């Protein structure tokens, strides 16, 4: 059964949808910005502690929520070993979760997509390769 919407109600609905779309765009922009800032901090930390790290990552296998295929997992064998190697480099009062979020090594849902995109953008810029080359067959999945 179709519901008829009068012109006034249809206009109000259209305005509400437009406003909701603006909020979603703003929220997305905020999340991307926060993710990029965290990744920038994480990259600076790795630059200081493990120069050349960006070339050691298998970017096509990057999976931030996998302890073996996340940034730290790929560099140190697994996430826990990476955290242990770097933990004294940040503020002493941070929990493991806070440290990971501050430096962009892990994120609670729904931030994984933005965080992974920020790491990939950094790799594209630093390695000077296009995203499709960096990700290889992953783009076809």
Write down the domain spans for the chain: 9-135
Helix (H) or strand (E) holding 141: none
The residue count for the chain:
141
Assign 112 a pLDDT band (cuts: 50, 70, 90): confident
Residue 2 has a pLDDT of 52
**Does residue 25 register a pLDDT over 90?**
no
Which residues lie below 8 Å from residue 122, measured CB to CB, with a gap of 6+? 39, 40, 43, 54
- Indicate the pTM of the whole model: 0.78
Q: For the segment 97-108, what is each residue's pLDDT rounded down to a tens digit?
A: 889 989 999 876
Alpha carbon 37 to its chain centroid, in Å, reads: 10
Does residue 129 contact residue 121 with C-beta atoms inside 8 Å? no
Helical spans, DSSP H, in the chain: 7-49, 71-76, 79-86, 96-102, 112-127, 131-135
Higher pLDDT, 42 or 87: 42
């Amino acid at each position: 059964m179709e519901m008829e919407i009068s012109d006034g109600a249809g206009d109000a609905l259209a305005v509400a949808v437009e406003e909701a779309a603006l909020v979603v765009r703003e929220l997305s922009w905020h999340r991307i910005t926060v993710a990029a800032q965290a990744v920038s901090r994480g990259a600076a930390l790795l630059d200081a502690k493990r120069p050349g790290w960006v070339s050691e990552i298998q970017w096509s296998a990057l999976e931030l929520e996998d302890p073996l295929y996340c940034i730290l997992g790929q560099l140190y064998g697994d996430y826990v070993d990476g955290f242990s190697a770097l933990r004294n480099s940040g503020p002493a009062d941070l929990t493991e979760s806070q440290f990971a979020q501050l430096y962009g090594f892990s994120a609670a849902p729904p931030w994984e997509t933005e965080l992974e995109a920020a790491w990939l953008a950094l790799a594209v810029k630093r390695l000077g390769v296009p995203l499709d080359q960096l990700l290889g067959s992953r783009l076809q999945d």
